[in-house]
Amino acid sequence: MEREKHENMLMAIARDFNSVDDLIETFLTFLENKTDYFHVMLNDKDVETLSEKYDGAILKNLLNNNNCGFKAHSREQLLIKSFRKHQINYIMRKQPYIIENEEIKNKYLTSCDELKKIKYMPTTKDMNKEKQENSTKVNSDVHSLNVTRVLKLEGMFYEEVDKQECVWSIEDKKNIIIYLEKKRENWWPCVIKGDTEIDTKNIESKKNLTDFDEKTQGQIRKFLLEQRMKNEGIPTPEDLRKQNIINNVLSSKGEPFGR
């Protein structure tokens, strides 16, 4: 219901535009002017480098602005992933004949003639696996517990996936990209049961800042900034607030240390 409400609102707005491209351009302009969507969050090393080059108002602006925005390239990657997912969903729902007919599929999607690899994307929810194959035929059937006939790949997943969110696409006319959305966020020792397993204890399990919701991101950035200020001997906003309270108490009439 909530999604339908939002779609109806967007449909009403879309009627004011001559094309979908104009609508998208306006939305991107909105993100540019009214949000920090395009703001690049610098890493600690770059902040340190720029801190040595700038001082005063510029340095203050640099540090304050680095509390917002997103990790470099994270927005583009998420947009590409989302585009592919919705394009495949649309074609499967509205134009299944494109996928069902090999010659038509190769013409309008991408040619499979030079297909070499299978890839599972390597994130906490997306696993990475490569398999060398030469084939002109691709057929995918992803279920919550297993995958069948992706080239010559068949077997049971290590754990359940959300089949409604699993999609595949072809890149560079030679790579099949399979996105697997896990039902449970954890590391798998392998993608398909029976494959060689890795030791998950050796995996760097730190999450990217962009994996958290915006509220949590803000809290983490605030904590990191305060830690940096403490290390540099700069009073944090909380330190200043506490000192201001102490000063008010000490200067109050009737207090033992009041003036």
pLDDT digits (tens, 9 = 90+) for 92-117: 788 888 777 767 766 666 433 322 23
* 220's tokens: 């983490």
The percentage of the chain sitting over the pLDDT mark of 90, rounded to a whole number, equals: 11
Residue 177's CB is within 10 A of a number of other CB atoms, namely: 19
Q: What is the pLDDT of residues 151-162, one digit of tens each?
A: 556 788 889 888
How is the beta sheet containing 141-142 ordered, strand by strand?
A: 141-142, 146-150, 153-156
Q: How far apart, in Å, are the Cα atoms of 165 and each of 79, 177, 215, 248?
A: 15, 14, 25, 57
Lowest mean pLDDT among 63-67, 78-82, 138-142, 205-209: 138-142
Per-residue confidence (pLDDT) for residue 104, from 0 to 100: 72
Structural domain boundaries of the chain? Answer: 1-115, 152-196, 214-252
Residue 120's CB is within 10 A of a number of other CB atoms, namely: 19
